[in-house]
Structure 1
Amino acid sequence: MDLTLVLSILFLSCLHGVSSDPRYFTSLFTLGDSYIDAGNFVIMAARMVPPVPVWHDKPPYGMTFFGYPTGRLSDGRIITDFIAEQFGLPLLQASLLNISDVSKGVDFAVGGATAIDVDFYERNKLVQFKLLNNSLSVQLGWLEELKPSICKAKKGCRGCFSKALFFVGEFGVNDYNFVWSAGKTEDEVMSHVPIVVENIVRAVERLINGGAIHVLVPGNPPNGCSPTILTLRSSLNQTGNYDYMGCLSDINRVAMHHNSMLNASIGALRGKYPHARIMFADFYEPIITLLQSPNQSGDVNADALRACCGGGGEYNWNASAICGMPGATACNDPSTFVSWDGVHYTEATYRYIAEGWLHGPFADPPILSEMGH
């Protein structure tokens, strides 16, 4: 089936879903990285001395839906926007905007965030630059600080969190990318998976012990199919390391191992906290499914591994002309592309993922299954 047709059908199906039914979620709180960042990275980068240069606060970011850049790393809405719309909630704003009313939710995610605290990467010289202090534990701290504002006029946070949906992730992609970028082997990268998963599990437990009941935990996407990673690794000329789709097998193996371990750990948590509803969200298979979708003529899409917005090259990603920089241009129809800027995805891709997490088959259990009972 044509990729555009698949995405159009899914878009129409979401118009007939649940809206503001009071049995459903009344708020949404998100921890994560750039896949669900609504603008926190832009704010943090501007506060650094000297300020960290950012390009996703410039056109064509936001071109499809908002019409202007919002700090989201996409041409439009991201996964959490579609989840919010499903429940009649406002689109989340960045927590660092210090908005006055956070009772219906707020976004704590920050681009570049890690599951392991950033000082680990700096101390072990895995990075050659100063990282933003935006790790999972930091975001949990921000949530703790906002608890009084979130739960005012409610009978404690246990009551006000009972109808909230919490996102914990995606986390892990940046952790592994830092280790890969330091020139480490696949085995060395793999050795970090247990601690990454352990930190995610601890965060879920912390939320549940604080009153959360509904927690969604996404796994890792197939980062070995990322136009950016494919471009950066092409100079290594290891042709034997590519799979049948042209993705990097070693990077995807780490992602699959992470997902397997995380899914098993979530299963254990369900036994420990039977009153909670802990959902594993598959971020890997929906991307693979879209990458394998044929084009209008029924052939494999030649643009499947290319970014919509970029500065040229085999995968349309160029370090000197990243999307938002001078010299980079966007494709005419982002909905026909999986990747937006070489790292992040198009609004059409995010909509497809959100639908799969809401209704299945890409979540266990799907967000909307057995709701309201």
Structure 2
Amino acid sequence: MKFFTQFTTIVLLLSCFLSIQAEKLKSSQSCEFQAIFNFGDSNSDTGCMSAAFYPAILPYGETFFHEAVDRFSDGRLIIDFIAKHLGMPFLSAYINSIGTSYRHGANFAAGSSTIMRQNKTYFDGGTPFTLEIQVEQFNQFKSRTGKFFTQANKSSYTRHFPKPEDIAKSIFILDIGQNDIADVISKVGKEDSHALISNIVEYFSKQIQSLHFFGARTFWIHNTGPIGCLPVAMPIHNAHNNQTQVVGYLDQNGCVNSQNDLAKEFNKKLKDIVVKLREQFHDASFTYVDMFSAKYELISNANKSGFVDPSGICCGYHENGYHVYCGNKATINGKEIVTSSCEDPSKYISWDGVHYTEAANQWIANRILDGSFSDPPLPIAQSCQITH
């Protein structure tokens, strides 16, 4: 009897050990994504706005591409480093029809994009490519490319487009909300910012649900960054701002607290929405990525990480409230201002006062890809695992 009890105990322990090992093996397996579909604003736009309106000009793209490319940086964006990490080529913008390949996905992100619908035109600082439109563009992409694979000569399309069954094996990345928060900031004192933010995240949830309906199953969702730490928001580049002397207006890094507080509120509500989506869709994985913390860590440790002061801007003119963005020129107080880039962009966090340099993008990408800033804390290559 004693021997039988010992034997049973050993069997149970062995079974438990094998179960744990199986779970470890499962958690270490790569998802082997077939494609990436990206949705967002200028932080991940790889050509939409240039294809739709005006082509890119130097010095945008000068560091990595050595020519004008359709990115709001001197080189690669975070989405470019994500694609490289997953073993895929750079994503082509959905509406960029020249020299594009969509075999490994498409990028629907567009500069100035928002989650909410807009009443402004591009020339008024708006964009027609809101998240809702980007999601509909994906639906069209899926529908149109799917038809190719029902034709007799479908083999000729496999080199250019993902197979219909690859949609469920793809990762859907969303990095949007910064422009919505900027709009909320502009309405502080005029409208209820808490209600506005709640409406934004609820509308975001609807677009995620639409993507799920269209076949998306793995979501990698970035929250919004510290908008109050963008150099153009800092008082050093806005001498006309009469609030700079108010106690508590700025944090230890010179960032505007009130603006970052709104971003934090958005992020908290966004995370709550992600939790609800997990509860609603048990056949999908939702990874919430804390971009705010990753970017703020870089800003807080700029010097230790080899960067200049985070308020520094590599390209553009930003003085006394006047802003001439990178690659443009203007006449201010009778003096012609011609903008050019700094001598070494790799030393700067901010490229043009709003967007990050390639060096900063790479620093951030290296921090988020291993899951260190994610909930659940899974590397991006394993983010297809469903956790509830």
TM over 0.5: yes
Q: Is the 8 A contact 1:215 1:277 kept in 2?
A: yes
Structure number with larger C-alpha Rg: 2
- In the alignment, what sits opposite 1:313? 319
Give unpaired runs (5+ residues) of structure 2.
1-28, 155-161, 330-337
Please tell me the root mean square deviation across aligned C-alpha atoms, in Å.
2.9
Aligned-partner Cα distance in 2 for 1:291–1:186: 31
Partner of 1:114: 114
CA distance in 1, matches of 2:297, 2:92: 30
Distance 1:113 1:294 in 2: 28
Deviation per residue, 1:260-290 (Å, 9 max, x gap) = 1101110111111122111111121111111
Instruction: Tell me the CA shift for residue 233 of structure 1.
Output: 5.1
* Matched residue, 2:38: 30
- 1:256 aligned counterpart, secondary structure: helix
1:229 and 2:236 aligned:
no
Residue type of the alignment partner of 2:60: Y
Deviations 1:196-246 (A, max 9, x none): 111111111111122111111111110101111225754222122111211
The two structures have a TM-score, normalised by structure 2, of 0.77
- Could you tell me whether the CA contact under 8 Å between 1:30 and 1:107 is conserved in 2? yes
**Are 2:250 and 1:242 equivalent residues in the alignment?**
yes
Q: Does 1:343 align with 2:343?
A: no
Aligned to 1:153: 149
In structure 1, the residue matched to 2:104 is 104
Give the Cα–Cα distance (whole angstroms) in 2 for the partners of residues 210 and 356 of structure 1. Answer: 31
Q: Number of residue pairs matched? A: 332
Gaps spanning 5+ residues in structure 1: where? 1-20, 47-53
Following superposition, the deviation at residue 69 of structure 1 comes to 1.8
Change over 3 Å in CA distance of 1:128–1:348 after alignment to 2: closer
Q: What's the offset of the Cα at 1:143? A: 0.9
CA distance in 2, matches of 1:188, 1:235: 26
One-letter amino acid matched to 2:341? A
Superposed CA offset, 1:98-136 (max 9, x none): 3664231111111001111113x68xxxx9937331111
Aligned to 1:205: 209
CA contact (8 A) 1:186 1:254 kept: no
SS of equivalent to 1:215 = strand
Q: % of aligned pairs identical?
A: 29
Aligned amino acid, residue 325 of structure 2: I
Matched residue of 1:330: which SS? coil
Structure 1 residues 34, 130: CA separation in 2 closer, same or farther (over 3 Å shift)? closer
- In the other structure, the counterpart of 2:177 is 172
Choose which of 268, 271, 275 in structure 1 pairs with 2:276: 268
- 1:318 Cα shift? 4.5
C-alpha distance in 2 between matches for 1:345 and 1:107: 19
AA of the residue aligned to 1:323:
C
**For residue 199 of structure 1, what is the amino acid of its counterpart?**
Y
Tell me: CA distance 1:268–1:76, structure 2 relative to 1, closer, same or farther (3 Å).
same
